[in-house]
Amino acid sequence: MDQYFLEVDYYQLNKNKQIACGDSFLSRKFDDRIVVVLADGLGSGIKASVLSTLTTTMAASFITSRMDIRRAAEVILDTLPVCSYRKIGYSTFTIIDAKLSGEVSIIEHDNPPYALIRKGKIIPVVKQDIPLKTERKSHLYYSEFTMLPEDRIVFYSDGVTQAGMGLPHLPLGWQESGVEAYLRELLHNSPQLSAGQISKRTALKAREYDGGKAADDISCAALYLRNPRRTLLMTGPPYKKEHDAVLASIANGFTGTKILCGGTTAAILSRELGIPLKVNLSEVRLDSEIPPTAMMEGFDLVTEGTITLSRALRILEQDPALETLSDNAVNRLVKLLLDSDIIECVVGTKINDAHQDPALPKDLEIRRNLMKHICNALETKYMKKTNLVFV
């Protein structure tokens, strides 16, 4: 299963007029596995957000320490307060412990049941009902199975299943059956849809049923096991000029998205590969802080180097909504990186004297340190796999 990649993503919408989301999502990646938690705090707003965040943090910490997923759920239930009147916990949750080999363990506590989708069909999964040792009016369900290539696991808060409640055609809300029918249709029309797009479209559809104003916090998340999307990012000239041919050989032999960051880097590859390099003059503006892109056949994006990379790092650290980003070199770079699974970074180590000028902005870090920060952000925040090679 090493040739496959496990993509994880989610999308959330706050309840109408609430500044905080009462649902929390957390994912952590390790060498051989990914732990994912979706929690729904009782009610909405700040209080619900605190309770759900407490739940996701505890769950991730317990699973990280190799605690059995069932034991972790029991400890969480013992820790969380219980509503004295309704006898229910102040947070529901779904915890997924997924190995990169495809083996998955899932524990559910009062969230809507997840959907395992295989070849466009919802696959039923046998679940173990774990009895609770308290008076809680709730259930704990445990299941385990092995994902196959192209399988998806989609899970969500009750803001999705209860969307549209009270409408003539949805008296009880969208419900699980309605959500699952929508997922089947979605993947029938777009079989390669990413985990992020599945989550976003499902959440937005729920809000649509709510009349465009979310009646509750809405969260949807997905796991997708598939062939990885690979990207090559090359920046900086090699330390030795005789290695220029090596740089060209790497670029020429790579299959996937190709990005060049740096005028000198692009000039070297243009010369070595015999491909003309042309600046996009339509992007040249005297008042623009973003340098223009260029065009080279066989490359998906060609940009300036350190300024573009430093601005891209700033955006990655802010966790942006991609649909709000304007169209420029920096934002195109960010979108290509976030649409990738495995990013191969080839970094030249020849010092550019211009970047050592103390009068230049502080965010002009030495290229190799800048790339280390970018790779770290992609790994820790976006669950990407990166490889960093210096030449």
Q: Write down the pLDDT at residue 44.
A: 84
Q: What is the mean pLDDT of residues 187-198?
A: 92
pLDDT digits (tens, 9 = 90+) for 44-58: 888 889 889 989 999
**Which of 25-34, 196-205, 289-298 holds the top average pLDDT?**
196-205
pLDDT of residue 134: 59
Domain layout of the chain by residue ranges = 5-226, 230-390
Portion of the chain with pLDDT greater than 70, in percent: 90
pLDDT for 71 equals 84
Dihedral sign for Cα atoms in the order 13, 15, 21, 22: negative
CA distance 306 to 242: 23
Residue 183 above 90 pLDDT?
yes
Using CA of residue 159, residue 165, residue 170, residue 176, what is the dihedral sign?
positive
Range among 31-35, 240-244, 279-283, 300-304 rated most confident:
300-304
pLDDT at 137: 60
The structure tokens listed for 14 are 């706050």
Quick check: 155 pLDDT over 80? Answer: yes
pLDDT in tens, 309-334: 999 999 999 876 766 777 889 999 99
Please check whether residue 72 is in contact with residue 39, taking contact to mean a CB–CB distance below 8 angstroms: no
Closest CA to 236 of 336, 308, 306, 337: 306
Could you write out the DSSP letters of every residue in 81-104?
-B-TTT--BSEEEEEEEEETTSEE
Query: Residue 144: is its pLDDT beyond 90?
Result: yes
pLDDT of residue 254: 95
Give the pLDDT score at 97.
Answer: 93
pLDDT attached to residue 64: 79
pLDDT in tens, 260-315: 999 999 999 999 999 999 988 777 775 578 888 999 999 999 999 989 999 999 99
User: Do residues 310 and 370 lie in contact, with contact meaning Cβ atoms separated by under 8 Å?
Assistant: yes
The mean pLDDT value for 62-71 works out to: 83
342-347 sheet: strands from edge to edge: 278-279, 294-295, 301-303, 257-261, 230-235, 342-347, 385-390
Pair of tokens at residue 309: 């990379």
Q: What is the pLDDT of residue 354?
A: 53
Mean pLDDT (the chain) is 88
CB 226 within 8 A of CB 4: yes
Band (pLDDT 50/70/90 cuts) for residue 176 is very high
* Mean pLDDT of the region 29-34: 82
Question: What's the rounded Cα separation, in Å, for the pair 330 and 311?
Answer: 6
Give percent of the chain with pLDDT exceeding 90: 60
Res. 363 pLDDT band, cuts 50 70 90 = very low
Residues 72-124: tens digit of each pLDDT? 888 888 787 766 555 555 788 999 999 988 999 999 998 999 999 999 999 99
In the predicted model, what is the mean pLDDT of residues 168-181?
A: 93
DSSP state of 63: H
| Range 5-226: architecture per CATH | 4-Layer Sandwich (3.60)
Strand order in the sheet with 140-146: 23-29, 33-41, 91-99, 103-109, 140-146, 128-130
CA nearest neighbour of 300 among 364, 343, 264, 271:
343
Q: How many residues are given for the chain?
A: 391
Q: Across 200-352, where does the E strand assignment appear? A: 218-226, 230-235, 257-261, 278-279, 294-295, 301-303, 342-347
Q: Which residue has the higher pLDDT, 359 or 85?
A: 85
Q: What is the pLDDT of residue 364?
A: 40
279 versus 231: the higher-pLDDT residue is 231
Q: Does residue 127 carry a pLDDT above 80?
A: yes
DSSP tag of 229: P
Which of 122, 123, 124, 229 shows the shortest CA–CA distance to 186? Answer: 122
